Amino acid sequence: MSTYTPDVHAERVGHLGLITLNRPKALNALSLAMVRELNHVLQQWQDDAQVRAVVVRGSNKEGPFGAFCAGGDIRYFHQAAMSGDVTLEDFFTEEYSLNHLIQNYPKPYIALMDGIVMGGGMGISQGAALRVVTERTKMAMPETHIGLFPDVGGGYFLGRCSGPACPEHMGEYLALTGHVLRGGESLHVGLADVCMDSSTLPALWDGLCQQDWASGEAVVAWWRAQSKTATEQALAQTPAWQNAPIANVFGLATVAEMEQALQGTDEWSVQTLKALHHQSPLMLCVTLEQIRRGRHMTLAEDLRMERDLVRHCFQTDHLSRRGLSSETVEGIRALAVDKDHAPKWQPAHIADVTPAMVQPFFESPWPASAHPLRHLS
């Protein structure tokens, strides 16, 4: 029986802890109750010697799989910010604590990332011992589109994108543009470990439950063996960005310089510049600084930084902006509330963002001894 919400279904089957995100109408977007349920279950299972591995999946309107998690519940963010609901603070503190727990989980945690995996969905999957994608996976960190930044540890894991076909500064590219990685593309940048055909997942889930597992490591090895062929096929495909000058453009010092470098007429430059111009200029500049700082931080340090950032996003006191006037609330309004897709960004242009607007985001509103994530190590 669920403690906080039936939107997370957790059960122990043999030596496995099985989790299904069960809020399909919202593409399993995380509510505060879901974050609390996940934290509660995972903390229980980490101390249960009978649970040797944890496997998490999503669901869609037709049943299991098909969607993993679309992120945090941004409608709730908007409502809470507008009404002064203090649980918004709790949401981010508890969500980031959950991200840290998963990254440091003492048993194999396996994420079946079939379908949409964005924002908060990345936060509950990137710390997994095994990250499984399918041909239906659509993976992205699109937060700058709503006047936010790629949180849930994005500074840490995007800053560490790597792989044989991964250009330098891929993390900056993904963070600033919100580019969607399809299926096996995520293998090339180190954001997934194996790829499977989505049609095989239901039978594999059933097969998983029918075995008596001697160890969590055996569960991981079994999934790797099942996915070997599909993974090799995915890695053999040339990623779409193979010839794009990502390193040259996104390795530049500022977003303004990147904008200038994208003035070409080739398709990649045109589409990439168009993507940047859809995002909040202010949060593009904040995000660039976040990724470059996060690349050299531990996960705990990065999450503390991001907790500072998210407070400033909703309470941007150094720019005298709160509630409806905040960049994040305006971005959510345009995308998910009024749905006019015409956010009124302040400033409206990348060239108008100054360091004095950006740097205060990185000043913690709490002393170290009182930081809400001071317990993370």
Residues known to be catalytic: 72, 120, 143, 151
DSSP states of 199-251 as a string?
A: GGHHHHHHHHHTS--S-HHHHHHHHHHHHHHHHHHHHHSPPTTTTS-HHHHHT
How far apart are the C-alpha atoms of 158 and 35, rounded to whole Å?
Answer: 22
Containing 56, the helix (H) or strand (E) segment is strand 53-57
- The 10 Å Cβ neighbour count of residue 241 is 20
Residues 343-368 as b or e (16 or more Cβ within 10 Å = b): bebbeeebeebeeebbeebeeeeeee
Residue 140 backbone phi and psi in degrees, to 5: -165, 160
- Contact indicator for 290, 305 with CB cutoff of 8 Å: yes
DSSP secondary structure letter of residue 297: S
**6/18 Cα distance (integer angstroms):** 14
| φ, ψ dihedrals at 64, nearest 5° | -60, 155
